Chains A and B, each alone.
Chain A
Amino acid sequence: MKRQISRLQVRDVSLYFGGVTALSEVTLDVYEGEILAIIGPNGAGKTSLLNCISGLYRPQQGHITFVDNNGRHHELTRLRPYQIAQLGIARTFQNIELFRHMTVLDNLMLGRHVHMKGNLLSCGLYWGRQQAEEIAHRERVEEIIDFLEIEHIRRQVVSTLPYGLQKRVELGRALALEPDILLLDEPMAGMNVEEKEDMARFILDINEERGVTVVLIEHDMGVVMDISDRVVALDFGRVIAEGPPDEIRSNELVIQAYLGDESLMAFV
């Protein structure tokens, strides 16, 4: 089992929206090199947890600590989202949030933003060093385009692409950041079987070949069983179970939580 080093420590995190409890004393670890699946019925708090990690929500209570490659600890609940991205945490969204009027290339180039140095003046002049920087990062982006097999659409405006490809571009943008941890919010939702298989293959490759730690929210239990090393189940904002996939699938509490949620009947 790959669970030596904890890279992300969520401790006692609670998040409220008025009277609604989105997360309640959530504690979990993300270990280096693993694929962690987060499951739970609709409204369980999965997206809220991701939003807390990436800095979009600020929990009223608890801590989230990220351990970087040099072993330094960063308290994420005190940082702005762009700072968390700079640390090497990238994500995708449940409802695709691409830069709709930009091309695929430009979307991916934005993934390189934190690695580039260009400032207002150097960009406006576009002399020597700035041009060299743009080209160097374009090469990195092209490598990701190859990997995701989206060469044919690189100059297309994102909003003109079909849903499945948009999902793939969004993955590419997050990947361009070269994250240590990749947070994926339902990357396969709304896809057909073939698209799901492609996506699963990409996620596995990203994890194995690029050594990226993946946190994945997914409703399709088949996929979760296939690709995740470990599963955390949420219900009403609480962690109700944690363990390897086959253990979670037969966990009483998890089955209870899913009862009555017909979107997941296949699971029971």
Chain B
Amino acid sequence: MECGVYFTTYKDDMALRRKPLEKLRLALFAALVVIFPFIASPYWLNLANQIALATIGAIGLNILVGYTGQISLGQGAFMAVGAYGAGVLTARLGIPFWLSIPIAALITAAVGVLFGLPSLRLKGLYLAIATLAAQEIVEWTVVHWTSLTGGVEAMVIPAPRILNMRLNTDFRFYWIAVGMAALTALFTANLFRSRVGRAFVAIRDQDIAAEVIGVNVYLYKLLAFGTSSFFVGLSGALLAHYRTIISWERFTLETSIVYLAMIIIGGLGSIQGSFFGAAFMTLLPAFINTAGRALQSTFPAIATVLPAVQQSIFGAIIIFFLIVEPEGLAKLWRDIKNYFYVWPFSY
């Protein structure tokens, strides 16, 4: 597989992209990302922004679930903390947009550590139930703490601005969303090629062996919850500023499940997979909607069944990936790359 590529220093050998082809591919992707907003229609720009924000959230969840092996049903709750955190900071306290985002993310990280405490005692299904409790508690708080969040009414926040430039168009927000997604991906990639990330993965694979080799498993589990929640909160905070209107219905248990599906379909423990999953779960409903609307003129009845169709397709795809390709789209992508790496000499 790796025929013909040698490294003379450990630095090269330990680089994130080791082979020339990988570097080229990354450069091409970056170029595409930069050109895209200039050629895309508003509709596609909107989708791209959604994908970028979902990618941040999916990477966050993947840090916890895919890399550290701690199941979480609290994704929606953590996104809510980030979103309402950013909302309260800007709309109620007048803190500038750019500052509200890291603060909201840090608040979410703290909340994540708090709700990560049960993980010190619980595993698997039991931990899932404990994070479900976190989800319910946050949801309940958001709906009932009306003075702070506006309750079931949507919370409106001012359009984001930097130095008097309003970032309320899809084109302008694109650079922030994509920039933050890229930074998140880079940070995470670095994390998992060095000491702390390795300890996270060790806990996933064999927590007793991790402890015995010197990893403070309690501390690192909480650290994983904190790191994960930071990025999930970041995603929520950006979403709040992007929409400029926050409603609790975006952060329910269903959100948690959609994000779990995202990383399962994309690939657990993979950054690329997080992106693939985010893109897939954003584009698929958009596609189904478009197709549905196109058909609606001929079959008006479709409008009533569309949501059900969407849910069934989601369900079917998740089951497909669980059974046929548990490693998700990232694995398919790897297979394709490997195939072409030796092409045309396939053996």
Contacts and interface: CB of A to CB of B under 8 A. Distances in A.
B212 A130 contact: no
A85 interface: yes
A111 to B, nearest CB: 6
Contact of A113 (B14, B204, B206, B214): B214
Contacts of B201: 99, 101-102, 106
A124 B198 contact: no
Given A120-B223, A135-B14, A126 B193 contact: yes
B206 A99 contact: yes
A102 B214 contact: no
B202 A126 contact: no
Given A80-B211, A82-B211, A135-B10, A118 B194 contact: yes
B183 to A, nearest CB: 10
Interface residues of B, number: 32
Interface string B4-45: 000000110010000000000000000000000000000000
B199 interface: yes
Nearest to A112: B195
A177 B188 contact: no
Interface in B254-277: 269
A156 to B, nearest CB: 11
Interface string B165-203: 000000000000000000000011011011111110110
Contacts of A126: 190, 193-194
A99 B208 CA distance: 10
Interface in A129-153: 130-131, 133-135, 138-139, 142
Interface residues of A, number: 44
A126 B194 CA distance: 8
Q: Which of A93, A120, A133, A138 has the most chain B CB within a 10 Å cutoff?
A: A120
Interface in A84-139: 85-86, 90-91, 93, 97-102, 106, 109-111, 113-114, 116-120, 122-126, 130-131, 133-135, 138-139
Contact of B212 (A54, A109, A117, A120): A54
Contacts of A114: 213-214
B135 interface: no
Interface in B199-239: 199, 201-202, 204-206, 208-217, 223, 227
Nearest to A100: B205
A81 interface: yes
A110 B202 CA distance: 8
B197 A123 contact: yes
A124 B214 contact: no
Interface of B is mostly: helix
Contacts of A255: none
Contacts of B223: 120
Contact of B14 (A98, A99, A138): A138
Interface in A26-84: 54-56, 80-82
Contacts of A168: none
Given A99-B201, A118-B194, A126-B193, A110 B10 contact: no
Contacts of B211: 80-82, 85
B206 A98 contact: yes
A110 B188 contact: no
Contacts of A82: 211-212, 214-217
A86 B219 CA distance: 15
Contact of B214 (A86, A101, A133, A138): A86
B35 to A, nearest CB: 28
Contacts of A111: 213
A106 B217 contact: no
Contacts of B190: 123-126
A219 interface: no
A114 B227 CA distance: 21
A199 B196 CA distance: 31
B154 to A, nearest CB: 34
Interface in A199-249: none
A125 B213 contact: no
B202 A102 contact: yes
Nearest to B183: A124
Contact of A100 (B197, B206, B215): B206
Nearest to A81: B211
Contact of B208 (A56, A113, A122, A174): A56
B206 A138 contact: no
B213 A90 contact: yes
B270 to A, nearest CB: 12
A173 interface: yes
Given A102-B201, A125-B190, 19 more contacts: A81-B211, A82-B211, A82-B217, A85-B211, A97-B206, A98-B205, A98-B206, A98-B209, A102-B202, A110-B210, A117-B195, A118-B194, A118-B196, A120-B191, A123-B196, A124-B187, A126-B194, A134-B195, A177-B214
Interface of B: 10-11, 14, 187-188, 190-191, 193-199, 201-202, 204-206, 208-217, 223, 227, 269
16 contacts: A82-B216, A90-B212, A91-B212, A93-B209, A101-B269, A102-B201, A110-B213, A113-B195, A113-B198, A113-B215, A114-B214, A118-B196, A123-B197, A124-B188, A130-B194, A134-B193
Chain A to chain B: the 8 pairs with minimum beta-carbon distance, closest first: A85-B214, A114-B214, A118-B195, A126-B190, A99-B205, A123-B194, A97-B209, A124-B187
